Structure 1
């Protein structure tokens, strides 16, 4: 087959044969667009999909792009998917990175270990952190880009394993500012996880009539007359079809189909043409072709030593003359995937089985490949092969290849002789498929399991697996109905499983905020036996579905739950979520800290209520850790296709961005959250997004807009839109109302909420209600409300809310001409805002301080105000001694991106060396505290601890034990 046809090269060998440079007929515009992408490799990151039907020329165009990039000095990494390896986790990534072993070895320890675990070279006792694998790929590509531009080419991506696609799509989203380009070739219409949204796509359609005629004219024996018309009609503009039909028409004793037979599907017709070329080949050649077709391995290092004839063997020339294969160096490759398909399907079932068995024996040192070949050779159930595949699934799962594990277990179930074993394996497959985020696949596996067994335990487990993923989707009404219905059926026979299901239903209830769901959950809990196992889970369900009902009783159970959860990170996380829901944020943060200290690998999916982690850190004033949690949830959610998890993280992140003084980016993130969910079905995320939009408007002084957004947190009649997420907005609603003349409406909402929470409100909510009342009441009666909002010492654990109230009190005192009294709250509020980096609030507090006669200066830390929130975050991590790679790991950025942010930040900070960062941030913070305390009659905290809290917390890290090597002198480390 000629290179200019647009067909794919062979599939065996470490790299496809380089394009010879023949003209590409009818693809001038497409090739020009592809060249523009490749030519930008040295300046801007580009990701492009090249999609089209079989034979439209994807691989040929990619080959030209490779030649163009290499001529420009780029480093090219190239891989191709293969059907037989699509079930082997990380096989495509391994093929892609095989040419750069030194760079893999040079990765930081954790990243290198994760990649080695993924490739099966490490112990992988608990499975690699899949996000760390993605970071390793990102770091590696970024490092290669330091030396020269990089072009990554992945062809036949529809056949690549899911784990590789996840890692590459993760890296692709974070290549901003990197000299790295990715070109992904795939068949049109195939779902490509991670690459199917908002990705620039070059679609290859049929050639037009003029180009089709031109291509036929270029063939060695150009067809004419009626034959030419039939070829043009049959090919439909497909380049490969045009060339192969022309070749077939010129062969002796060959006709291009029978007029009476009617048109055949193109792929089937082409396969028949290729299969016809097998006639007359020597038996040994035919057998070797069948082995090659059955293997279809991209790794010749395995194929040839295993027993496949080498490229110089006399077996291959007849196949080469028949235009079935191409020999390149030491490799033998099919000229097109359809050749492989034709050779394989032309063989008898018995011959195919023999070929797979022969390959299984050749590859006995590759147990996963061997297992799949034995499975392909099984015409009937076989317990031994099923067990072999089950072991292969275990290996894949330990390497983090959840899709590969699910595929192996699904095939093992098909081969299991006993229906009970088949059902068990299908449930296991569903459990593995949960981590792919593919809800349709999970439900298909669960449905198949139900047809194979009546075992109540297995069926309950199947329902739990389906529910585990379903709660992370946006289909709240449907998912809740399924979970609750299944739980009701199992309350007597399988109470433990029923409790698991109702726990999932409680998560959906939280997201949806639907009150009818609360009643159904309570009814299920009442129907469960009093002695049902996992009483702690029952408590958790109660807290999630209604945290204000029997709050005191739930609080009393917290210490016992914490004690029982020690050394069990997943249970500590659950306890932390429950504590956060009960407004016990300090307890929640401690639980999350302990859990993460013990649980380095946090799994491949977000927690059911993973947003609680980010919110708890936000409320506690640990905004850096909150943004890290958002980054991880966003990364995991996007890879798994879980829009709801991404929306949750976006809403928290938007709030933080607004509070840190980046209202434009905050609005973008909040609007992203709203586009990913239906606010009427996911009330929690909708409320959080509107709160973020309100905070962004406040940051800009647009109080009418802020009130409009915060008003949407409550229904028309003043009831909360969400039973938990709405209440913390009460004080902000009141503050916006005061500044836009909406006192009466806001006061009615506040009092209605106060009445609803009577006797059940947490100290935090009571303080927020008191602050709201102080803002909305007659100024002559406001002071007791502000004092009440500050009275409980525990409220210091919500520093931003406390600082807001201190500022409100100070403003009230100054307006009442009690200026000396106002200075103390002002100083404390400004100190807190500074520590948090709440830029809009710093400016407001500074303006109020000047009005109160405080000597407010412009200390050095104000240089941070010129940095974006992300730059501030990076600078603070660098000041703690983290390298660019370590910062990248925490924030899911490439080292180059981190370096670029630091490079732009240093001039704004007035420094030239990395070692100056800690002195800048810590030393000037002490100066700022002293300067902001003002003249002698200003307020000075009685407790020395209060003076140093900000300094100490700025030094502390989330996980502890972080390196503080301050000898690094440049931003590039």
Structure 2
């Protein structure tokens, strides 16, 4: 049958295919109601891909298989890997793609459980390897029924498609009940996605579709009723015409009133009529296939239907002839699927609940007997009510274990929840509940807290209670239930025997984490003084406590923070055991505030560890603080890149707890670049309501908002914001301007309002605190702001001192600002000749940082001082950003672009961009020239 009224969609498909062939991948989402023609368009996409000599891999979401860990991903890739020759297998699994084995063959590397991010990263590189020699198309029908891990993979893949020869084409229904629309919206609303919305057919096209089946002229009133009931839906029109034909209903005026009864459920009517005309064995096979879901194996369906293989094959042939199922070849043989999910749904829905229960039970038992099909068994057990079957308990626990092995906590969570309902025997209940509680931490924090509270109630052993208390307290803390978290942690301390010191340190660390978000817990702040007296411990608990105390000390301006933070991060124990969690973040903040490079080294280690072993939730945290490190150093391009990656990762992993950090840090980067409107968008993304809540680490948001208001000229509002920032920071025990410099922000606002004495008061107060802390960035900033508001010769002296303090520091942008302000002060004092050198140097430094406002300010002052601004594009290795330099060094060492991308966890396109920039800055045009150019520079 011709494809009618889909020219625009076909044109979009053809364009996307051509772009993918040329190396610009894409993601097409065909969205519309059931029957609108999404599957037909996917068929056309397959044809277009074949014509373009693209490798086509296809999958279909299914209500039955939504619980399968990476079910859609495995449909896409398993057969390709299974049928690959030894040489092809090596190519497919080269580099980080080896980590995909955990998903595609359910065989984790080195016998360990695979982190979710490790699985996603491995699958990305497997996909990249797949399309490196031949362009590829991934076709996914019924995306709305995909399992959550597969949706996460697609979300992970989507922003990395730009430089791949890969086109992903999916079909999805809007507003399908029971679907996680947040995950789907993340894909369809991504700027890298193109969404097509096929429209209903016109009356003329609907008439052509139905007329081709009815083979006779329809009376206008008869057709009008047909159109009214199908509303131009192609599938409904076809099925209605087939039902009319099967009923022998003449398309006359008199029969128009009979159309509605058929049209209101056209698909169901057609299927019912067809099945009624078939032998009972065929109907039984159809029901068995409907029970098994998409991509069913005929032998399994035969067992469920209690048919011999010979009878099953005959029945399948007959079902295929009447257009109910179709066969497809896979690497393991021939499988069947329904011609449309609505056909499967119609057959399944006609079965009474008892038949559905018996069918799913029978299917589960068949898979259990096969011994290695626990996940298939579990999928059926999720469809039936609990019945106290011990075999089912074991199958569900095994399925959860397999799901954890592939880094799929969502699926493991579903299986364990169902297992708990079965229920397990009393002797296993606590084990299952514990497994469920720990798995829930990665899926649903509120449910995790509920399950772990029950575990705590059922546990009598002191050490076990304290161990559960540690984890439960963390969950409650993340949920903002601070009073309950404190009670749980304190109860854990009391339950511990005296000799269990390491766990006690963990619990104490938990207690003193609360004041960072809850200003009302002054008694916990006072607890920090006693905990400082505990002898240092190299244990995990000792490092956890050191991490928390290091940030308390940083907040208060105690230089002992550096010693503690170094001790906390030593040997990477926290990165491996608490990646992305409060203790390691506290240590990072302490070292970043002290301008120490080892903080960035630890964060980079955390990024690598997260990709290789960790949870997807840990990555945005590491990237957020990496962005902060670049910001404070003045590497704005690096800072923006990491902050935007963190934003994307926060949305992918739904780590909303990071928003109060990630949004303000990105906004601060954008403000330094002069991109005020974008900064406001980033702040809004943070999700902080107005007025801000009384709890939470929102002083970072408040500080960034105050600065944004000042830059927008709303000085009075900015002053109020700066003072509100100070009030919040002080309530958390914060004094150190290296973390939050609210006093200097208030001083700038007061100075702009003409309140000089008040401005000087706040600036001098911050300067005294910065001198006490001693780190050059905070000190140079405080000196600069104090110099600006004091003015005169005293102000120039302070600005000159700021230049000296920052000269050898890593804070390049703050140094550029100090030079610019010092040069401007000299120019205003009529020392024009002396002003030119610092102003010219400020221009060059600020340009290298990407700080356009500082460049323009220094340029204007230099012109006013009688200087002639020259071309300031820096050259040589000193002009390379850290990422450009790292890529260039790896390329100089002989690594290919692909190898560099794999090592740095970026795409090959990103490597190309960095290398092009490096060539330009180094004045070369070939890779072979890199070693000498880097050495000479």
* TM-score (structure 2 length as normaliser): 0.75
Q: Which residue of 1 aligns with 2:140?
A: 154
Write the deviation string for residues 687-713 of structure 1: whole angstroms up to 9, x where unpaired: 57559969xxxxxxxxx8487699848
C-alpha deviation, 1:72, in angstroms: 3.7
Q: In the alignment, which residue of structure 1 is the partner of 2:59? A: 79
Pick the aligned partner of 1:69 from 36, 49, 65.
49
In structure 2, stretches of 5+ residues that fail to align are 496-502, 535-539
Asked if 1:176 corresponds to 2:131, the answer is no
Q: Is the 8 A contact 2:548 2:583 kept in 1?
A: no
Match of 1:895 in 2: 908
Matched, 1:674 2:684: yes
Q: Distance in 2 between matches of 1:56 and 1:860?
A: 56
Which residue in the other structure is 2:586 paired with?
578
Residues of 2 paired with 1:259 and 1:545: CA distance? 78
Match of 2:151 among 165, 181, 199: 165
Which of 711, 717, 726 is the matching residue for 1:720?
726
For residues 857-880 of structure 1, what are the alpha-carbon distances to aligned partners after superposition, in whole Å with 9 as ceiling and x for unaligned?
989953789999987775566456
- Cα distance per residue 1:80-107 (max 9 Å; x no partner): 1223332222232232234654666325
- Find the aligned partners of 1:221 and 1:525 in 2 and give their Cα distance: 86
Q: 2:613 matched to which residue of 1?
A: 601
Deviations 1:147-185 (A, max 9, x none): 555433211112222222212222222222544332211
Is residue 319 from structure 1 mapped to residue 316 from structure 2 by the alignment? no
User: Which whole-Å CA distance do the structure 1 matches of 2:218 and 2:128 have between them?
Assistant: 53
Deviation at 1:663, TM superposition (A): 4.7
Counterpart in the other structure of 2:101? 116
- State the SS of the aligned residue for 2:632: helix
Find out whether 1:218 has 2:212 as its counterpart: yes
**Shift in CA distance, 520/746, structure 1 to aligned 2, threshold 3 Å:** same
Find the aligned partners of 2:396 and 2:562 in 1 and give their Cα distance: 48
Cα distance change on mapping 1:834 and 1:40 into 2, 3 Å: closer
8 Å contact from structure 2 (residues 547, 584) kept in 1: no
* CA deviation string 1:528-574 (max 9, x = no partner): 9x99x968766755665795348467667556645697576345875
Give the deviation of 1:356 after TM superposition. Answer: 0.2
Distance 1:819 1:272 in 2: 90
The Cα shift of 1:63 comes to 0.9
1:298 has 2:302 as partner: no
Give the Å deviation of 1:128. 4.0
Q: Counterpart of 2:912 in 1: which secondary structure?
A: helix
Counterpart-to-counterpart distance in 2, 1:851 and 1:108:
61
Q: Give yes or no for contact 1:885–1:895 (8 Å, CA) kept in 2.
A: yes
Residue of 335, 339, 343 corresponding to 1:339: 343
Match of 2:197 in 1: 203
Q: How does 1:798-809 map to 2 (within 5 A)?
A: 798=811, 800-802=813-815, 804-805=817-818
- Aligned equivalent of 2:236: 241
Listed as ranges, the matches of 1:184-203 within 5 Å are 184-189=170-175, 190=179, 191=181, 192-193=183-184, 194-198=186-190, 199-203=193-197
Which of 30, 37, 42 is 1:57 aligned to?
Answer: 37
- Larger RCO of the pair (alpha carbons < 8 Å, separation 6+): 1
Match of 2:701 among 686, 696, 699: 686
8 Å Cα contact 1:69/1:76 also seen in 2: yes
Distance, in Å, in 1 between the alignment partners of 2:921 and 2:844 is: 22
Decide whether aligned partners of structure 1 residues 453 and 733 sit closer, same or farther in structure 2, where only a CA change above 3 A counts: closer
Contact between 1:446 and 1:463, CA under 8 Å: does it hold in 2? no
Task: Tell me how far 1:397 sits from its aligned partner.
Answer: 1.4
Question: Residue 105 of structure 1 aligns with which residue?
Answer: 90
2:719·2:746 contact (CA, 8 Å) conserved in 1? no
Q: CA deviation at 1:605?
A: 0.4
Q: What does residue 285 of structure 1 align with?
A: 282
Q: 553, 569, 581: which is aligned to 2:576?
A: 569
For 2:863 and 2:877, the matched residues in 1 are separated by 21
Q: Which moved more, 1:217-226 or 1:171-180?
A: 217-226
Q: Secondary structure, in 3 states, of the residue corresponding to 1:82?
A: coil
CA gap of 1:443–1:242, structure 2 versus 1, over 3 A, is farther
CA distance in 2, matches of 1:235, 1:640: 40
Match in the other structure for 2:537: none
C-alpha deviations, 1:807-857, integer Å up to 9, x for none?
A: 655766788799999999899989977986878868988999999999999
Partner-residue secondary structure (3-state), 1:86:
coil
2:483 matched to which residue of 1? 484
Shift of residue 122, structure 1, vs aligned partner: 3.8
Structure 2 distance, partners of 1:838, 1:284, is 75
Deviations 1:243-289 (A, max 9, x none): 3233234335999999999979967x744652454346445434433
SS at match of 2:809: helix
Structure 1 partner of 2:399: 392
**1:107·1:140 contact (CA, 8 Å) conserved in 2?**
yes
1: CA distance, partners of 2:171 / 2:375: 26
Correspondence for 2:790: 777
Contact 2:57/2:76 (8 A) holds in 1? yes
Whole-angstrom CA distance in 2 between matches of 1:471 and 1:110: 39
Do 1:128 and 1:601's aligned partners in 2 also have CA atoms closer than 8 Å? Answer: yes
Displacement after TM superposition at 1:59 (Å): 0.5
Q: Does 1:913 align with 2:926?
A: yes
> 1:607–1:449: structure 2 CA closer, same or farther, 3 Å change rule?
same
Q: Which residue of 2 aligns with 1:369?
A: 376
Within-5 A mapping of 1:797-836: 798=811, 800-802=813-815, 804-805=817-818
Please tell me whether residue 638 in structure 1 is matched to residue 637 in structure 2. Answer: no
How has the CA–CA distance of structure 1 residues 869 and 62 changed in structure 2, closer, same or farther, with 3 Å as cutoff? farther
**Inter-partner Cα distance in structure 2 for 1:764 and 1:561:** 23
Between the two proteins, the alignment pairs up a number of residues equal to: 874
> Distance between the aligned counterparts of 2:418 and 2:263, measured in 1?
29
In the other structure, the counterpart of 2:76 is: 96
Q: Which structure dedicates a bigger proportion of its chain to helix?
A: 2
Q: How far does residue 520 in structure 1 lie from its aligned partner after superposition?
A: 8.6
